[in-house]
Structure 1
Amino acid sequence: MELSVVTAVYNGEAHLEEAVHSILNQTLNDFEYIIVNDGSNDRTREILDRLTDPRVKVIHSEMNNGAANALNTGIHEARGEWIALQDADDVSIEHRLQRQLDYIKSHPEFAAVGALIQCISGEESIDPDFLKMESFFFNAKDPERFRDEQFYSTPICHGTGFFSKSAFQNIGGYDPNFKIAYDYDLWSRMFEEGEIGRVPEILYQYRVRTHSLAHTNRIETTCEVLLSTFKSIVKVKFGHLNRIPKLLLLGSQKEIAFYKEKIASRNRYSEMLFLEQKMSAIKKAYSLYRFHKIDGIVLASNSQADRSFRYFVSKGLSFGSQVFKVWIPDELS
């Protein structure tokens, strides 16, 4: 079996049929399609039980265990060498699977690839300009910089994900500790297995839902992204230490306060020190690193970050090895 498509769904009755049929009607038809019903209590089970296509395998979970767990279950059952994701309320363009399969096979340096997206609305009417802006958020990202932004940005839209099952297994799959940022966490670790690329054409319609967890709980989304960032930095860059690394966060007073209030008690991955992002503190941070008092420096991405970064580079430190960026939205900082 060359390809398996995996969908996790929870209470997805509104758009599930459209999502499923966008996969079953692909120009490429030799694949299996595993759909995990993650304890839905709407008509999801009824919709899935009506499917008769022999390529489909439905797994019903009696309890809602979260998307990360459901996706891990589906991918564990998959027989394919390659895994294609399909989110339960989105739509794949009819030649998506063929294009991504051809693309990743012709680029052996890639462990995963995505695609350009078109944002669409769901039950509620959403301003077309907002949809264009959301599309631009993913599509404008430069694939040449994906690795540079490994700990700072999500390279591809989750539902466009197409990757090697062996690479997924090697990095340990999705982390169920993350209820919102499980995709961000997965991609940051996928770089351990190879590059992440993107087919340069629109192959996926991403449905924007203003009531999704990521939109309605911005603070928790930010917390999960930051926790995932620290986890990945520690695992990828400091795993050889065999101890909890000590990192220094350079940020504004508000950013440091946000970390201490929302993140500190949940960050079991690293020990943190803090300095307000001023020139004297930047020099002190370098001194601490030079004399092995800290293992790395984390910059809050604010107006001072570029100045700090240039200073550290001038001292021989490099981005993604000793110096890292994290993101806190302006309205939360």
Structure 2
Amino acid sequence: MPEMNGQPLLSYIVLSYNYEEYIGTTLRSILEQTVQDFEIVVVDDCSRDRSVEVVRSFNDPRIRLIVNEHNLGGAGSYNRAVQAARGTWLVNLDADDWIAPNKAEIQLRAVQKDPRLDIIGTHVKILDHEGKPHPDAPSLEAGINQPHNLNLVQNWVGMNWLCRSSSMVRREAHLRIGLDDAAMVRAPDYELWTRALRMGCKFAVVPQQLTFMRLHKRGVTHADPLGQFLELSYAMMRNLIPLAEARALHPTVESIIAWVARHGELCKLEPRHAYRLLGIVLATPEFPDFTAFRSEVLSDEPDNALVRAGRRALTTYREGSPGFAYANKLERDIGEFIHARNYWQAQAEHWERVYHMRRTRYTPRRIAAALLRRAKIAPELLRKLDGYR
């Protein structure tokens, strides 16, 4: 059995939460690697199943298990693993995925060819929860497994082409760029990758399907489209826009603003919040973390400058431009919302007036008097009706 001697070359980071049926496959795929100079740092985020027992069943001193005392979420658990890892390279692998036996060997070979590399991914093969080919795999893989140059800012606009489970990150570079934003749930890896790009890290992707990724309902990335939209917007505002401006990539800045303005999730925000988000993307103020950004977007405090900036951003999409139709749709939605609000408010006031009027008009005494009046004229009405027979 291999023993740990000094600093390992690779530190595999495996995050687990209720993945007892998968994590055994994940760990075996690491133990079967052709490069054996590694440690495995497993962080269990308070699993309620037998995940911890499965990890402990592997009798290998290179496996280090960290069990959180309370639930930290994916980003918080990842940060614990990064701080505990000792390897020259940090190799990410989610507890429901697995890798080909020669993955690390091929990625290290790419580093030998280009020692400037800091982050190396691979192409992926997408499977379902049972490890069988996913029905959507052909279309998904056709988009992901393309020769995307991840060193170009424009290739990151609204898209994450780097699968975390395929990535290998130089530890020295990771410590320089910092940890995950622990408040992010849907796209912490996207924020980390775009921050690495902003801070000068060099990317590469091995064009071989060496990572096997499960796509199933328990994944968190696409479970909250609005939350993901806000996290992506934050990452682009924080990392991509300053980098694009520094490189004088003005069309890229325009495409980022257009991506936010055209996104379907923007209409799910209340109008003032949608305008605030666009205003923030234009102004790019500094925020300590995603929590502060989200609080500012969803704030109800009046900030006419941000709201005006956001509204003006939509007016730049004139007729004939790509954003014109969306700008019109948002303005129509806002107008319809105001119209509906005014209509139902008027209806409520009308029925309240009717209720009070009837309550004062139709007292028991008045109702009885009306019935008596009708009783008196009933015989005359009957005679008239008989005349038409």
**Larger RCO, structures 1/2 (Cα 8 Å, 6+ apart):** 1
Higher helix share: 2
Label 1:108 to 1:181 Cα distance change in 2 as closer, same or farther (>3 A): same
Residue from 276, 296, 321 that aligns with 2:315: 276
1:252–1:276 distance in 2 versus 1, CA, 3 Å: farther
| Aligned equivalents of 2:164, 2:315: Cα separation in 1 | 35
Shift of 1:120: 0.9
User: Shift in Å at residue 256 of structure 1?
Assistant: 5.6
Distance 1:100 1:127, change over 3 A: closer
| Amino acid of the structure 1 residue aligned with 2:19 | G
What is the distance in 1 between the residues matched to 2:16 and 2:78? 9
Q: Structure 1 or 2: larger strand share?
A: 1
The equivalent of 2:52 in structure 1 is: 45
Which residue in 1 is equivalent to 2:350? none
Aligned partner of 1:115 in structure 2 is 122
Shift in CA distance, 198/267, structure 1 to aligned 2, threshold 3 Å = farther
Q: 1:166 to 1:281 in 2, by over 3 A?
A: farther
Which of 182, 186, 193 lines up with 1:180 in the alignment? 186
The number of equivalent residue pairs is 277
1:62 equivalent in alignment to 2:90: no
**Secondary structure of the corresponding residue to residue 55 of structure 2:** helix
Partner Cα distance (1:45, 1:304) in 2: 51
Give the percent of matched residue pairs that are identical in Structure 1 and Structure 2: 23
CA distance in 2, matches of 1:276, 1:127: 43
Alpha-carbon shift at residue 4 of structure 1 (Å) = 1.0
Change (3 A) 1:181 1:256: closer
Runs of at least 5 residues in structure 2 that lack an aligned partner in the other structure: 1-6, 247-253, 278-292, 298-304, 325-389
Cross-structure match for 1:309: none
Distance 1:211 1:80 in 2: 30
* 1:3–1:211 CA distance, 2 compared to 1 (3 A): closer
Relative to 1, partners in 2 of residues 1:98 and 1:238: Cα closer, same or farther, differing over 3 Å?
Answer: same
- Provide the rounded CA distance (Å) in 1 between the counterparts of 2:21 and 2:317: 51
Q: 1:218 to 1:98 in 2, by over 3 A?
A: same
Q: CA deviation at 1:151?
A: 4.1
1:229 maps to a residue whose letter is M
Query: 2: CA distance between counterparts of 1:103 and 1:45?
Result: 34
Q: What amino acid is the match of 1:9?
A: S
For the residues of structure 2 that align with 1:137 and 1:228, how far apart are their CA atoms? 22
Q: Which region of structure 1 is more displaced relative to structure 2, 151-160 or 209-218?
A: 209-218
Residue by residue over 1:118-177, the C-alpha shift from the partner in whole angstroms, topping out at 9 and shown as x without a partner, is 11111497753x122222231125226644323432131110110111111111121112
Matching residue of 1:318? none
Match of 1:196 in 2: 203
* Structure 2 partner of 1:224: 231
- Indicate the residue corresponding to 1:79 in structure 2: 86
> What pairs with 1:238-257 in structure 2 (closer than 5 Å)?
249=257, 251=261, 257=267
How far 1:17 sits from its partner (Å)? 0.4
Distance of aligned partners of 1:45 and 1:106 in 2 relative to their CA distance in 1, 3 Å threshold = same
Residue type of the alignment partner of 1:94: P
Q: Following the alignment from structure 1 to structure 2, what is the Cα–Cα distance between the partners of residues 210 and 196?
A: 30
Which amino acid counterpart does residue 294 of structure 2 have in structure 1? Answer: R
- Measure how far apart 1:279 and its partner are: 3.6
Is 1:266–2:330 an aligned residue pair?
no
Pair 227,206 (structure 1): closer, same or farther in 2 beyond 3 Å? same
Shift in Å at residue 209 of structure 1?
A: 0.9
What is the DSSP-based 3-state SS (H/G/I as helix, E as strand, rest coil) of the residue aligned with 1:58? strand
Partners of 2:157 and 2:263 lie apart in 1 by: 22
Are the aligned partners of 1:155 and 1:187 in contact in 2 as well (CA < 8 Å)? no
| CA–CA distance in structure 2, aligned partners of residues 160 and 14 of structure 1 | 21
Alignment match, 1:136: 142
Aligned-pair CA distance for 1:69: 1.1
Distance 2:110 2:25 in 1: 25
Shift of 1:268: 4.8
Shift of 1:62: 2.1
Preserved contact between residue 151 and residue 232 of structure 1 (Cα < 8 Å):
no
Contact 2:230–2:294 (CA under 8 A) maintained in structure 1: no
Amino acid of the residue matched to residue 79 of structure 2? N
1:62-102 Cα offsets, whole Å, 9 max, x none, are 21101111111111111111111111100100000111122
Contact kept in structure 2, 1:72 and 1:174, CA below 8 Å: yes
Q: In the alignment, which residue of structure 2 is the partner of 1:9?
A: 16
Q: Within 1, Cα distance between the matches of 2:170 and 2:10?
A: 10
Instruction: Note if contact 1:116-1:200 (Cα within 8 Å) is conserved in structure 2.
Output: yes
CA contact under 8 A between 1:90 and 1:204: conserved in structure 2?
yes
Is structure 2 residue 38 aligned with structure 1 residue 31? yes
Change in Cα spacing, 1:49 to 1:143, as seen in structure 2 (3 Å) is same
1:104 Cα deviation (Å)?
2.2
Q: Tell me the alpha carbon deviations over residues 153-205 of structure 1, each in whole angstroms, 9 at most, x when there is no partner.
A: 21311101101111111111211121110111111111123221101111111
- Tell me what 2:371 maps to: none
CA pair 185-254 structure 1, distance change in 2 beyond 3 A: closer
Paired position in structure 2 for 1:215: 222
Whether the 8 Å contact between 1:146 and 1:155 is mirrored in structure 2 is: no
Letter in 2 for 1:165: R
- Look up the match of 1:315: none
